[in-house]
Amino acid sequence: MPARALLRGAALLLAALGATGCALRPSAPPARPALDQSLGVLAARGDALFFLTENRHLAAGTSVLLVDPAERVTFTVAAGPLGGDPPDSFPLVLIDEVPAAAYSLGSSRSAASLDLPELAVAAVAGVAVDPMRPDLDGDGEAETVSECTSLEGMHILVSTGEGPPRWHAYVALGYDVEPTCPE
């Protein structure tokens, strides 16, 4: 009897899960990569260029594109994620308050020729993104990129429409700046 009661209880639980939409079924892979897996900050330390992102699985050779409507600038992941601690080894960037992974970049452009830090996008599998157009995740809706400064850092925000930011990075500059962020 106890085995029969156990089976009946399991059948009732499965029926309840199915009725509430919680049935066990294979999850579909996401149609597009999340912004947090493709976006990051392009920053420099001396002559070295870095891509700082929440994604901790970028392969060497991955393309990283500067988000700039004026010109197309492409970099290549040389190594990473790098060991060491910011700010000694690489710039400190927090993405949604979590320290970002750092990748060293190869490029024919020098760090001095770029106005850094800037938003960049990694060419991850799943969607073709054109950084010269405002649709950063390939969903057909334009994203808005905004920047502002706080006392010792810079905030980079990505929003869709008038809603709250979908992505936020804080770049520690290591020196005082005039705050421009709204309170």
Q: What percent of the chain has pLDDT over 90?
A: 25
pLDDT single digits (tens) 141-182: 778 888 999 999 999 998 887 878 888 999 999 889 999 998
**Helix (H) and strand (E) counts in the chain:** 2, 11
- For residue 103, the model assigns a pLDDT of 94
Residue 43 pLDDT more than 70?
yes
- For residue 30, the model assigns a pLDDT of 42
pLDDT single digits (tens) 85-133: 787 788 889 998 889 999 999 988 888 888 888 888 887 755 556 655 6
- For residue 163, the model assigns a pLDDT of 79
- The SS3 call for residue 125 is coil
- For residue 132, the model assigns a pLDDT of 58
* Cβ neighbours around 79 below 10 Å, total: 11
Distance CA(168)–CA(34), nearest Å, equals 13
- For residue 161, the model assigns a pLDDT of 77
- For residue 100, the model assigns a pLDDT of 92
Residue 19 pLDDT more than 60?
no
- For residue 91, the model assigns a pLDDT of 87
Question: What letter represents residue 9's amino acid?
Answer: G
Residue that the structure tokens 């970099």 belong to = 75
- For residue 133, the model assigns a pLDDT of 64
- For residue 177, the model assigns a pLDDT of 92
Distance CA(51)–CA(126), nearest Å, equals 20
Q: Mean pLDDT over all residues of the chain?
A: 76
Residue 69 pLDDT more than 70?
no
- For residue 125, the model assigns a pLDDT of 59
